[in-house]
Structure 1
Amino acid sequence: MDTARLHLDPHLSIVGDVGVDLVLGTLDAWPRIGTELLMPRSELRAGGSGANAALAARHIGLNTQLISAVGNDHFGHWLAEQFTGIRCNLEACDRETTISVGLMHACGDRNFFTTHGHLQQLSVQHVLKHLRPTDAPAIALFTAPFLLTELRGRYADLLAEAATRGYRIALDTGWPPEGWTPDVRDEVLTWLPHCDHLLINELEARSIAGTEDLDAALVLIGRELKAGASLVVKVGARGAMGFEAGRRSAHDAEPADIFDTIGAGDAFNAGYLAARLRGGHLAEGLAAGCRTARAILSRFPRKTIRAGEFADCIAA
């Protein structure tokens, strides 16, 4: 393994999921089985939490690395072409590419239908080969651990190893397909002591803590994080709140007319982490995350966004 240390400007390395997203909308109600509906809007694009965060980072001009995998098929080759301007290390797996169909509802909510595909084969060896030691200010963002079968069994060790290589650790857990069972909660609790930034939504916070009381959940989770870590909770259209060193901060998002909310939390993650990499404090990170999410989600289709177009979202 190449152990040469990277000497770079502040940068974000993302270890997470990449797949194909087909976004369709909008649905007023679920159709009857056997019928056909015409959707007024659609976009075929790279998706998954890792991909969404990496593309958002490109949109705001952040130096970014993406470590993930693609399938060995047409969609896998197509995916690899979607990340121009991003330093990509994509493991080619001998499986069909993971595909998600996202259905947008008129109420603003959505449903996903996702195949297993190649994500089950992203290997620890591939991640460690490309997550090289660094002396520069750097954050490693880990996303979608529940979908990455090969990584999941060694996840705590992987987070610890990334820290020894010079990275501050950010984690967005996502949602476990098997639900928040007691075993899943215990598993996540082994990850939290490695985190410098935990980036979750309010439902995930309640689920990790095993309580419907959000304030109590935040206290319980905060106790499990390393000293000085930042706990960030995304609360949808309302914005985000954060907790750091016993202090609470919040940022209220500006209202916006948004059709496609897929990837909102991932865009927030990119803006928040970019601000923190540049020395911003917690409140500045929350504001940058909300601005980034609002700017990107307001654009449909997103493939028209240029690299660096939203760099002002993370301006101090």
Structure 2
Amino acid sequence: MRFEQAGGVVCLGETMVVLVPAEPGPPHEVVKWTRAIGGAESNVACHLARLGVRSAWVSAVGGDAFGRAVLDAVGGAGVDVTGVSVDPDRPTGLYVKEANASGSPVRYYRQGSAASAMGPEALDRLDRTDVRLVHVSGITAALSDSCLALLRAVLTGPRDGHVVSFDLNWRPALWRDRDPSVLRELANAADIVLAGADEAEAVWGTGDPAKLRELLPGPASLVVKQGEVGATLVEDGVFTHQPALRVDVVEPVGAGDAFAAGYLAAHLAGNPPARRLRAGHLQAAAVLLTTEDVGQPLPASVTGPLLDADDGTWAAAYLREST
């Protein structure tokens, strides 16, 4: 599944170092940990790069070893990181997660991080040359007043030939001291909105695609991810649904970012609605089959036939770790 002609994408938001248990057992008994990196927007950028889409990531990291690790990892995935500033005074954010198939509880250590100090001036580092899409998420709005101002600048500023996609990415722990009602304002200013039905229910009181369209009349495209049920796209008054693939889930974190990247790559490539949703499902499946937030895409021998398969073949597909 490749989308080389899709055009350039800029993803903007915080990425942190993540520590994951490298051995089984309760977290307080774990001695060995694996260091990785995690950030919704950089995850999308990395997925896009692996799908053949030219992508860049704009953010800030600390002038510390963790910041260097983040830059190395994201840049090593083929993403342009020249728009990332290095803050000599503030640290790179950190979070710790316990990985398992039923969910991954996380604890954040990101207060006062370099990325939380970002503001509208970060847009000065955004190279708009041949950029067709800028991708942001609701996470950034929760980090600080200056980050909220940055998102507003992205979503309400001139488009300059590009569109803006907004992924709700609801993180309740980040909103304890902030007003999440602003998320509706931000989403309604985007061109493309992606939201999980469960998180939309938590934030806006409904996960129903028709009711969400009433709440968000502004975006040209509204994508509602409905977990194991599938995903629904509302566009031009038409509702398009594609069921999710059956997958042997190893660990679910990161699947939403993968879905976003697959969908956005297919959107930029001019694919029809059903094919866009399938591209999202296929990219998400690649992550569900691994403990990594950004895994390798599924082989073309799997994705090619499924993208254009009839409904029965798609519904019968079952992806396992050996796929």
TM-score bracket, shorter-length normalisation: 0.7 to 0.9
- Partner residue, 1:282: 273
Residue 74 (structure 1) aligned to one of 62, 65, 72: 65
Structure 2 letter corresponding to 1:75: F
Residue 189 (structure 2) aligned to one of 191, 194, 197: 194
Deviations, residues 167-208 of structure 1 (Å, cap 9, x unaligned): 2010012224354899422x1232133211101111221233
TM-score, normalising length: structure 1: 0.81
Give how far 1:237 is off: 3.4
Deviations, residues 21-65 of structure 1 (Å, cap 9, x unaligned): 22337878x77xxx52578xx642221101211111122221111
Answering whether residue 163 of structure 2 is matched by residue 168 of structure 1, we say yes
Aligned CA RMSD, in angstroms, stands at 3.0
Residue 217 (structure 2) aligned to one of 207, 210, 225: 225
Alpha carbons of structure 1 residues 26 and 290: separation in structure 2 relative to 1, 3 Å = farther
CA distance in 2, matches of 1:202, 1:179: 19
- Partner residue, 2:136: 142
Residue 109 (structure 1) aligned to one of 83, 91, 103: 103
Give how far 1:68 is off: 1.1
Are 1:169 and 1:195, in contact at CA under 8 Å, matched by a contact in 2?
yes
Unaligned runs of 5+ in 2: 309-323
Residue 149 (structure 2) aligned to one of 134, 153, 164: 153
Alpha carbons of structure 1 residues 157 and 124: separation in structure 2 relative to 1, 3 Å = closer
Answering whether residue 12 of structure 2 is matched by residue 15 of structure 1, we say yes
Answering whether residue 69 of structure 2 is matched by residue 90 of structure 1, we say no
Give how far 1:140 is off: 0.7
CA distance in 2, matches of 1:70, 1:208: 29
Give how far 1:219 is off: 2.1
CA distance in 1, matches of 2:43, 2:233: 22
TM-score, normalising length: structure 2: 0.79
CA distance in 2, matches of 1:299, 1:45: 14
Give how far 1:112 is off: 1.0
Are 2:133 and 2:162, in contact at CA under 8 Å, matched by a contact in 1?
yes
Answering whether residue 255 of structure 2 is matched by residue 264 of structure 1, we say yes
Deviations, residues 137-176 of structure 1 (Å, cap 9, x unaligned): 6111102223442221353232122x43222010012224
CA distance in 2, matches of 1:166, 1:311: 31
Alpha carbons of structure 1 residues 36 and 181: separation in structure 2 relative to 1, 3 Å = closer
Answering whether residue 50 of structure 2 is matched by residue 44 of structure 1, we say no
CA distance in 2, matches of 1:279, 1:250: 18
Alpha carbons of structure 1 residues 43 and 240: separation in structure 2 relative to 1, 3 Å = farther
Answering whether residue 117 of structure 2 is matched by residue 124 of structure 1, we say no
CA distance in 2, matches of 1:267, 1:303: 7
CA distance in 2, matches of 1:59, 1:151: 28
Alpha carbons of structure 1 residues 75 and 37: separation in structure 2 relative to 1, 3 Å = closer
Equivalent residues in 2 for 1:224-243, closer than 5 Å: 224-226=216-218, 229-243=220-234
Alpha carbons of structure 1 residues 160 and 200: separation in structure 2 relative to 1, 3 Å = same
Alpha carbons of structure 1 residues 297 and 250: separation in structure 2 relative to 1, 3 Å = same
Deviations, residues 93-120 of structure 1 (Å, cap 9, x unaligned): 22111111121235x2121111112221
Deviations, residues 209-264 of structure 1 (Å, cap 9, x unaligned): 2x2x433x74244443326x111112233332221122111222222222222111
Are 1:21 and 1:48, in contact at CA under 8 Å, matched by a contact in 2?
no
Structure 1 letter corresponding to 2:121: Q
Answering whether residue 198 of structure 2 is matched by residue 207 of structure 1, we say no
Give how far 1:86 is off: 1.1
Looking at both structures, which has the greater relative contact order when contacts are Cα pairs under 8 Å and sequence separation is at least 6? 1
- Partner residue, 2:56: 65
- Match of 1:142, SS state, is strand
Answering whether residue 21 of structure 2 is matched by residue 24 of structure 1, we say yes
CA distance in 2, matches of 1:111, 1:9: 35
Are 1:16 and 1:49, in contact at CA under 8 Å, matched by a contact in 2?
yes
- Match of 1:261, SS state, is coil
Equivalent residues in 2 for 1:288-299, closer than 5 Å: 288-299=279-290
Unaligned runs of 5+ in 1: 1-7
- Partner residue, 1:248: 239
